[in-house]
């Protein structure tokens, strides 16, 4: 189980992403690994309950790319862009200000303590055994405090982001706060993939949106705590996602070979960068504490989507008041993608039916949209978040 909450405020142009169309993929594969229930950390079936956790197949280590972060913006950005396009990820060790990461982590700890799942005197996110379903409400409270702004205001991170993005960039209202509780009965793992929570590509649910994913650990995340696993080199196209069930859509088992996966021990100050189509997953938590991380998404300024407030919508047209004060009207057709609001009970990778969009999106709501020649390609609604 991963309890997360979505938050949702910009360099020469470089092609940070492979400009590949993201299309809906038919139901061809069933999801392999068991999926954790949205609220119950004990709902992941155990292969063998009890005893030590055993790993008979280990994943490869992520390759650090610190040496490519130079002061020459163009040279470093071009090199990093090529590497991101080749491998689907970048990994930087210890590049972020420890005080900034600690400040974000402190906000998580307060939220978990207020929820009663971490003892008030604890300086580590150790689970006290209380009902882990309380964490969902805690993360909503955390979202209201906007801890992403601590990162946004950090000049060290801003410099790194500008190098990675190749110039100016826009923060998207796609920020996720994650506090993954331990499993009560860890399974005896017979292969590296049995701990996978949900293998997916972010780009699958965001067609036509150009963005890069940034994932930051807020604590030591070792093999027991579990972390982020990445399928290297499988970001060149959209992979088949299972669309048959009510759970979050994921990539079927067997689509990606086991030897493609890589992970590592993560520490505060590390940062992982991923292409929008890089397959990735969280790993089940076999420790005694919550796993804390934050991930956010940026678009190159030259590919910035429309960000603003909804003025009006029906099944044929949407009107948006942009953050810059402009009114934009876009036509809607059957090809327009309307993902459900991130973090909602219906956010499973599916689409809001065109005839029902006016029932799900409300006037005044924050909106992200992409378009081509006046036709809306993607429209997403949010409660709040970055404004660019």
pLDDT tens digits, 295-312 = 999 999 999 999 999 999
pLDDT value, residue 242: 77
Instruction: Taking residues 175-182, report their average pLDDT.
Output: 94
Range from 69-73, 214-218, 347-351 that averages highest in pLDDT: 214-218
More confident residue, 88 or 53: 88
Q: Please count the CA atoms within 13 angstroms of the CA of 87 that sit on its side-chain side.
A: 18
Q: 13 pLDDT exceeds 60?
A: no
Domain 3-302 fold is Jelly Rolls (2.60.120)
- Spatial contact of 22 and 238, defined as CB atoms under 8 Å apart: yes
For 356-365, the pLDDT digits (tens) are 888 889 999 9
Contacts 24+ apart (CB under 8 A), 127-132: 127/181, 127/182, 127/288, 127/289, 127/290, 132/1, 132/3, 132/39, 132/40, 132/41, 132/181
Closest Cα to residue 265, out of 233, 228, 296, 294?
228
Residues 2, 280: Cα–Cα separation, whole Å: 14
Residue extents of the structural domains in the chain: 3-302, 305-382
More confident residue, 350 or 275: 275
196 is written with which tokens? Answer: 């996978």
Beta strands in the chain (DSSP E): 3-7, 60-61, 89-92, 169-171, 175-180, 212-217, 228-231, 261-263, 271-275, 280-282, 291-300, 306-313, 317-322, 327-331, 366-372, 375-382
Instruction: Taking residues 79-107, report their average pLDDT.
Output: 95
Instruction: Taking residues 360-387, report their average pLDDT.
Output: 88
pLDDT value, residue 354: 86
Confidence of residue 205 (pLDDT cuts 50, 70, 90): confident
CATH 2.40.50 is the classification of domain 305-382: yes
Instruction: Taking residues 40-50, report their average pLDDT.
Output: 30
Instruction: Write the DSSP symbol of residue 331.
Output: E
pTM: 0.83
Confidence of residue 189 (pLDDT cuts 50, 70, 90): low
How far CA 50 is from CA of 36, 56, 227, in Å, comes to 18, 17, 22
Confidence of residue 49 (pLDDT cuts 50, 70, 90): very low
Residues 214, 362: Cα–Cα separation, whole Å: 29
More confident residue, 354 or 91: 91
Instruction: State the CB neighbour count (10 A cutoff) for residue 181.
Output: 24
More confident residue, 38 or 271: 271
Instruction: Taking residues 83-112, report their average pLDDT.
Output: 96
């Amino acid at each position: 189980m991963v309890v997360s909450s979505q938050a949702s405020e910009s360099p020469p142009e470089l092609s940070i992403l492979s400009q590949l169309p993201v299309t809906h993929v038919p139901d061809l594969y069933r999801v392999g690994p068991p999926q954790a229930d949205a609220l119950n950390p004990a709902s992941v079936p155990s292969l063998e309950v009890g005893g030590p956790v055993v790993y008979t197949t280990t994943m490869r280590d992520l390759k650090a790319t610190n040496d490519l972060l130079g002061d020459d913006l163009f040279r470093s950005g071009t090199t990093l862009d090529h590497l991101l396009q080749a491998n689907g990820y970048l990994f930087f060790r210890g590049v972020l200000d420890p005080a900034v990461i600690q400040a974000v982590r402190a906000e998580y700890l307060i939220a978990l303590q207020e929820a009663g799942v971490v003892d008030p005197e604890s300086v580590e996110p150790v689970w006290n055994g209380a009902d882990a379903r309380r964490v969902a409400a805690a993360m909503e409270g955390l979202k209201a405090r906007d801890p992403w702004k601590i990162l946004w205001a950090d000049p060290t991170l801003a410099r790194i982001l500008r190098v990675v993005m190749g110039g100016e960039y826009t923060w998207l209202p796609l920020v996720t706060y994650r506090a993954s509780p331990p499993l009560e009965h860890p399974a005896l793992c017979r292969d590296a993939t049995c701990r996978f929570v949900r293998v997916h590509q972010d780009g699958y649910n965001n067609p036509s949106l150009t963005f890069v994913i940034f994932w930051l650990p807020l604590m030591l995340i070792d093999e027991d705590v579990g972390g982020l696993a990445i399928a290297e080199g499988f970001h060149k196209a959209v992979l088949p996602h299972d669309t048959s069930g009510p759970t979050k859509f994921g990539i079927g088992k067997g689509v990606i070979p086991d030897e493609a996966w890589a992970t590592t021990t993560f520490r505060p100050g590390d940062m992982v960068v991923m292409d929008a189509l890089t397959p990735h997953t969280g790993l089940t938590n076999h420790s005694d504490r919550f796993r804390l991380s934050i991930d956010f998404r940026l678009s190159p300024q030259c590919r910035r989507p429309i960000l603003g407030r909804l003025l009006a919508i029906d099944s044929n047209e949407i009107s948006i008041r942009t953050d810059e004060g402009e009114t934009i009207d876009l036509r809607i057709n059957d090809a327009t993608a309307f993902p459900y609001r991130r973090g909602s009970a219906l956010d499973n990778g599916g689409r809001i039916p065109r005839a029902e969009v006016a029932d799900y999106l409300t006037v005044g709501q924050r909106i992200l949209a992409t378009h081509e020649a006046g036709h809306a390609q993607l429209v997403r609604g949010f409660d709040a978040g970055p404004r660019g």
